Amino acid sequence: MLHRLSNLALVCSGIFAAWFVACAGQGDDRLPLTQTADSGVQVDQLLPIPGVSDRGRDPAIVAVDIAGKPMCTGVAIGTDAVLVPRHCFLLSGHKCEEKSPLLAASHAQVLVGEDTDTLARGPRGLVVLEPESSRCDADVAVLIVEKPIAGVKPVAVRAHGIAKGDVVRTIAFAEVAVGWYQKILREYVPILDSDEQAFKALEPACLIGDGGIALDVATGEVVGVFSHLGPSCDGLDVHNVYSRADIFLPLIDAAYRWRGAGGVVVEDADGGSYSAVRDAGTKPTTTNKPESDVGGACITAADCAAGVCVATGSQRYCSRQCGAGKKCPTGYSCTSFGEKSFCLVK
């Protein structure tokens, strides 16, 4: 794979300025931070977390080309089912309208790969399943495609929600140069706030592209689908808003049983929930935790998926924050740097 984004220290250059707001607000105390321990160990941290090339870690995250609109990001939750933001199919773009029509599924095609140079065309859309609740508050949909997506192992959807103070792993296709998209990974992204419908993630807003998926950092299960940007592209309130995936489990159940019901979505009589009976082989039975870049080589924090680079002597490696129930990987210890703690090699 090409490494056009291998050194994200270039984020302040012209083509990235509109995307990585980490270069924008000089008065923002979330921006570049270096902490030093008594031992001489230095920790370089960058918030909001800018992200790095995914490099094949999350193959279930796919791009969806919908009638030439900006590239949409989705996740394979079944062999022929992709969870996507509903607004990707809106004729009116991001505009929220109760009766806004959707583009036909036939306009959509799944793309599998890491960037524009390596994306391979997969199956076309067959049908779009959407929630029956308020469309303004239900920004998710399931794209059923005409045949299984080759070479992609689906991931499961987590059955419970997320809370303020939790962390997630987010992946999105972004236009990092004109007409050139790349799959970008962010790890240990802090959750700033959460309610019964959505949550806010501390990551740069104003991506050029559309969509994004949030995963559980421990299990790799889907916890959220990108819905919309925060109020600004820079400053203290930079964030993205994700719809909680767990509240749409009835819709996801409908997708799993769609083929088994002859293409007809059937509701249960009691309360409108869908039957748990699913078409065999379409639902993932397990989810593997994606690979982390903790321990990988870095020069600055911008080279690391969690926005943390540790320097000790001649050694530099990617790390992440820890503490408050967030354990370090095997071989690392959680070391305090004042108010924050980071995973250091033992």
> Measured between alpha carbons, how far apart are the two ends of the chain, in Å?
32
Q: Show the beta-strand stretches assigned E in 25-140.
A: 33-36, 42-45, 52-53, 61-66, 72-78, 81-84, 108-112, 120-129
Query: Six-digit token pair at 159?
Result: 């059955």
How high is the pLDDT of residue 270?
Answer: 42
Query: Six-digit token pair at 327?
Result: 């354990």
Instruction: Give the three-class secondary structure for 11.
Output: helix
Q: Rounded to whole angstroms, how far apart are CA atoms 143 and 129?
A: 6
Residue (of 61, 44, 21) closest to 215 by Cα position: 61
Residue (of 35, 205, 65, 41) closest to 125 by Cα position: 65
DSSP state of 208: S
Neighbours of 71 (CB within 10 A): 22
- State the Rg of the chain over Cα: 20
How high is the pLDDT of residue 124?
Answer: 95
C-alpha separations of 258 from 66, 77, 106, 129 in Å: 22, 14, 17, 9
242-251 pLDDT tens trace: 999 999 999 9
Q: pTM to 2 decimals?
A: 0.84
238-284 pLDDT tens trace: 899 999 999 999 999 888 888 765 555 444 444 433 333 334 346 77
Query: Six-digit token pair at 286?
Result: 């397990």
Contact 83, 252 (CB under 8 A): yes
41 in the Ramachandran plot: left (φ > 0), alpha (ψ -120 to 50) or beta?
Answer: beta
How high is the pLDDT of residue 120?
Answer: 96
Which H helix or E strand runs over 253? Answer: helix 249-257
> For residue 231, what are the β-bridge partners?
none
Residue (of 290, 305, 70) closest to 187 by Cα position: 305
Q: How many CA atoms lie within 13 A of 295 on its CB side?
A: 10
According to DSSP, the β-strands at 210-211 and 72-78 are parallel
Q: Rounded to whole angstroms, how far apart are CA atoms 284 and 319?
A: 30
Sketch the domain layout of the chain as residue ranges: 8-54+292-345
Contact 289, 60 (CB under 8 A): no
How high is the pLDDT of residue 10?
Answer: 30
Residue (of 283, 301, 282, 284) closest to 293 by Cα position: 301
> For residue 211, what are the β-bridge partners?
73
Contact 86, 140 (CB under 8 A): yes
Q: Rounded to whole angstroms, how far apart are CA atoms 77 and 175?
A: 24
Q: What is the pLDDT along the chain (346 residues), one digit of tens a residue?
A: 222 333 333 333 222 323 333 333 333 344 456 666 667 899 999 988 989 999 999 999 999 999 888 889 999 999 899 999 998 988 765 555 555 678 899 999 999 999 999 999 999 999 999 887 655 668 899 999 999 999 899 999 999 999 999 999 999 999 888 889 999 999 999 999 999 999 999 998 776 667 899 999 999 999 999 998 887 777 677 899 999 999 999 999 888 888 765 555 444 444 433 333 334 346 776 777 889 999 999 999 999 999 999 999 889 999 999 988 889 999 999 999 888 999 999 9
